């Protein structure tokens, strides 16, 4: 579909869904963003919903400024996936042992590792840059200095909430039945700590005193505050990328143990809470994607649904109206609290039929019914991406 302009904003706000269907709180956030003097434009993805400061599912292009809240607190959160040589016919009828083996290899929820990751001991993991990466920790905000040990022990861990590891089977097309491995995670607690500290600093700067929402406070180019934020931001984005790479390598190892004949394709990885330096119509901008992936022409990306509905591997079409972006998933249609009040564990069992996963009260807030229809979300952005593969999970590990 083509975008629809959101009326009543200073900068153009282009919406890839029904603007009248956006929840009022989120619509007001979008108007607040469009009123900021530094904003060049906003692209609103079909999975848009209310968030802290900036909406989830918003792509914001700013001139000489960036808002930490427009990135999100889980800096660098994103997706990784790899196609295997296995087919559905290779998988056993009982997938519980495979899920157990994955959970043993990758700590989930609040769990962390007993010992920090040693990249040399993980087959298939990139070996370059690890020492230099950890050395840069000492350059981060001094208030997180005491968190280095925690950050090291959380490297290669999944976390909780909507983070997951899945074994999926490709649906339809010439490669129907092909098995994929997929995961969703971010910068764990360290990214959140850095983000919240910088949001607090930005709120106190004089140029942010008259904003319609103080959570949209920005840093300006050429200031020490901006330099400090970008230093910490780039590090946290790299932490998130390396975190996913560690987990994907461990996941491949688990599958290799059970299927020694397996071979793997080239991994796909994409952030969906991050900042990038880009240029549109000759204007250099800082683009924040909060709940959105880059979908430049030819870019491969991953758009997940929920723990019972499947996901999509996509190729970007490079639509400049959307700042070469696409949605990061289905997007929530109800809060976690509302989901818990609305659905029961019996509902969860029914909606995740055929998936080897947790089916207890602890994950009811992640029930498929709490999310938007992923097929509708995909239909609304057919001018942003083309589908490469439609995947359906058969194993889902949640924190």
Q: Which of 278, 309, 396, 384 is CA-nearest to residue 57?
A: 384
Burial state string for 11-50 with b = 16 or more CB within 10 A and e = fewer than 16: bbbbbbbebeebeeebbebbbbbbbbebbbbbbbbbbbbb
DSSP states of 96-115: HHHHHHHHHHS--TT---SS
Tokens coding 168: 């999926």
Residues with a catalytic annotation lie at 328
Tokens coding 264: 């793997």
Asked if 216 and 203 count as a contact pair (C-beta separation under 8 A), the reply is no
Asked if 364 and 398 count as a contact pair (C-beta separation under 8 A), the reply is no
E strands within 207-266? 219-220
Please tell me the distance from the alpha carbon of residue 261 to that of residue 379, in angstroms, as a whole number: 37
Q: Which of 107, 99, 128, 61 is CA-nearest to residue 279?
A: 61
- 3-state secondary structure at position 92: coil
């Amino acid at each position: 579909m083509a975008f629809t302009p959101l009326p009543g904003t200073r900068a153009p706000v282009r919406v890839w869904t029904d603007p009248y269907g956006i929840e009022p709180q989120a619509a007001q956030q979008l108007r607040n963003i469009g009123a900021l003097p530094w904003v060049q434009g906003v692209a609103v993805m079909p999975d848009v919903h209310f968030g802290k400061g900036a909406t989830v599912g918003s792509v914001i292009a700013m001139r000489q400024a960036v808002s930490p809240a427009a990135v999100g607190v889980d800096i660098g959160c994103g997706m990784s996936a790899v196609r295997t040589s296995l087919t559905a016919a290779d998988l056993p009828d009982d997938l519980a042992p495979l899920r157990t083996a994955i959970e043993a290899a990758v700590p989930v929820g609040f769990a962390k590792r007993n010992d920090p990751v040693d990249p040399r001991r993980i087959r298939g993991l990139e070996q370059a840059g690890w020492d230099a990466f950890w050395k840069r920790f000492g350059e981060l905000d001094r208030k997180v200095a005491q968190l280095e040990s925690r950050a090291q022990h959380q490297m290669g861990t999944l976390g909780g909430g909507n983070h997951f590891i899945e074994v999926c089977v490709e649906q339809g097309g010439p490669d129907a039945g092909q098995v994929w491995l997929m995961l969703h995670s971010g910068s764990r607690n360290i990214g959140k700590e850095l983000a919240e500290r910088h949001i607090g600093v930005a709120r106190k700067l004089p140029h942010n005193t008259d904003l319609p929402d103080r959570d949209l406070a920005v840093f300006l180019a050429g200031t020490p505050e901006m330099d400090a934020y970008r230093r910490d931001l780039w590090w946290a984005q790299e932490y998130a990328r390396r975190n996913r790479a560690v987990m994907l390598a461990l996941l491949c190892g688990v599958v290799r143990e059970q299927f020694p004949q397996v071979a793997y394709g080239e991994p796909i990885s994409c952030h969906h809470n991050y900042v990038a330096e880009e240029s549109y119509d000759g204007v250099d901008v800082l683009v924040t994607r909060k709940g959105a992936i880059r979908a430049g022409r030819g870019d491969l990306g991953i758009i997940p649904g929920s723990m019972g509905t499947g996901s999509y591997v996509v190729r970007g079409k490079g639509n400049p109206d959307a700042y070469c972006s696409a949605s990061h998933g289905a997007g929530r249609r109800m809060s976690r609290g509302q989901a818990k009040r609305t659905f029961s564990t019996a509902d969860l069992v029914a909606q995740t039929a055929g998936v080897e996963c947790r089916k207890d009260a602890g994950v009811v807030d992640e029930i498929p019914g709490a999310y938007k229809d992923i097929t509708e979300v995909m239909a609304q952005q057919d001018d942003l991406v083309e589908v490469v593969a439609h995947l359906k999970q058969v194993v889902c590990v949640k924190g």
